[in-house]
Structure 1
Amino acid sequence: MPGSLFPAYYPDVILEDGDEVRVEVRRLADLTAEDWAIHVIRAQIVEWPSVLRGFGTTDAAVRARQRETVSGDVWPCVEVPVGDATVAVVYRDDGDDSGVDYFCRPPGYARPCRIGSVEGHCLLPALSWPEVQYIVGTASDYAERAALTVLLFPACWDNDTDGTQEQTLAAALRGVGARGEVGELAGQLGLRGGARWVRDAGTGAMVCDSAYSLRNPLSPFALSGGALRAVSEALAPGPGAVGASA
């Protein structure tokens, strides 16, 4: 049952109107260019005309697709296997409490850990750039790599990058069906700085220094030390993986 996934992601959520909510898993391969336009505008602060120009679509087409796929009682979700772990993105649509939530279920965990959110205020970053590269590197083909890049890019803030992220994102946008001015859109999206990632001496986890990140042990919103370590280990690039250092 699709509804059985809802308690796993949101065990403490009780909707005010009492409606039953389903977290509906969707396949990356089934997402259209209009779906990706919706993802970009929900997961990142960008100018709407730039999204339409980048994807070569219209406001009417995107809004029609949104009416088909997004409603208050069905929350779309994309799940990505990463080794024995799972990374997921859920599009939460609960009236005034709407946003995009990023999760990781480390091996052995019964429930996923929320690692970041994009909403009125952002609990980010959820991922470092090497972690995004590692996850993308697990894909089986170019189309899946492009989809994973666009899916995860908004959750990544990282000061330590190699300067190729904008070009990588532009190529990925074309890979998910953007037919227009992707350079302009990629430039607006960019890779956000404002976060430095280090290995925490106490937990051994990769953590960041962004004040509101769930992966900053000093943040009031932080995951527990055990969860920080488990998420870090689940997303750690192994030897020879994309993004792994020698």
Structure 2
Amino acid sequence: MLKIPGYEGGPLVQGDAYLDDPLFWPVHLGSCLRGEDAQRAAFGADWDAAMELYRTLSAEHEWPVFSVPLRSGHTIYVVYRNVADGWGVDYLIHQPAWSEAETLAVVDGHFMGPGMTWPELLSAARRSATEGIGDADARLLLLFPTLGDALLPDDAAVALTAALAALTLIEQPTDVAGMLLENQGQWAPALWRSAGGVWINDGGHSYRNPSNAFALPERRLLEISNALQGGS
């Protein structure tokens, strides 16, 4: 059985087999596909099949886990937390020297985030380690729900469109990419800034906003910033 240091719950199982299913991606991005137009564009005629896949992903007897190792030695874990009446997706980060994983973002009815800037998301997607999920498009879409960035670059839609075109059967990936970037996560897009090398934001639900009582300790914020920006 898989284990993540300090993370309670399970049974955790490797979820990589789902990545080959084109329907997995719109299901995974569902929290960012708000409104009937977005869902129709993402799922098309496959809505029933997508809902069946969702039921499989959220079954209590297995909690799918997706591991995204970074070159820094850290690993981001995407965990489908399949608790009855408490379903959600947890985004955790860990490295071997830590006693337990830290939470970057939570997607559920009591969401927490954002967890990443757009440059961090792109860096984490493209700077893969030698093991774990290595495909840059898969890494980008897996981690996309952690995004909350009010200042997106002009070419953000290009990278996201390419990932959707490569991995899904969505007929108009450009349109869906635009909708995803407009909505981003469950939270409002945040403003980010560097404070002494630490990237922080102004989000009221973010672990990376030092103004929040539940924010991560400064040393963790610095290490996470370095890891996500592509440093060591």
Aligned mates of 1:81, 1:197 — CA distance in 2: 24
Q: TM-score, with normalisation over the residues of structure 2?
A: 0.84
Secondary structure at 1:135's aligned position in 2? Answer: helix
1:200 partner amino acid: A
CA distances 1:159-211 after superposition (whole Å, capped 9, x unpaired): 3321222232121111112332223322221154631222234xx42111111
Q: Secondary structure at the match of 2:229?
A: coil
Aligned to 1:181: 172
Q: Which runs of 4+ in 1 moved over 6 A?
A: none
RMSD (Å) for aligned C-alpha atoms:
2.5
In structure 2, the CA distance between the partners of 1:179 and 1:236, relative to structure 1 (3 Å rule), is closer
State which of 89, 99, 111 in structure 2 corresponds to 1:122: 111
Max Rg structure: 1
Unmatched 5+ stretches in structure 2: none
1:152 aligns with 2:143: yes
In structure 2, what is the Cα distance between the partners aligned to 1:28 and 1:149? 17
- Distance in structure 2 (CA, Å) of the matches to 1:196 and 1:50: 25
Q: Note the C-alpha offset of 1:236.
A: 2.3
Residue in 2 aligned with 1:214?
207
CA distance in 2, matches of 1:167, 1:114: 29
Question: Is the Cα–Cα contact under 8 Å of residues 116 and 126 in structure 1 kept in the other structure?
Answer: yes
Shift of 1:114: 0.5
Q: 2:19, 2:138 within 8 Å by CA — same for their partners in 1?
A: no
Q: What percentage of aligned pairs have identical amino acids?
A: 26
Residue among 71, 75, 82 paired with 2:59: 71
Q: What is the letter of the counterpart of residue 42 of structure 2?
A: G
Corresponding position: 1:99 with 2:88: yes
Match among 112, 120, 139 for residue 101 of structure 2: 112
Residue 105 of structure 1: how far off its partner (Å):
0.9
Scaled by the length of structure 1, the TM-score of the pair is 0.79
How many angstroms apart in 1 are the aligned matches of 2:126 and 2:206?
24
**Secondary structure class of the residue paired with 1:206:** strand
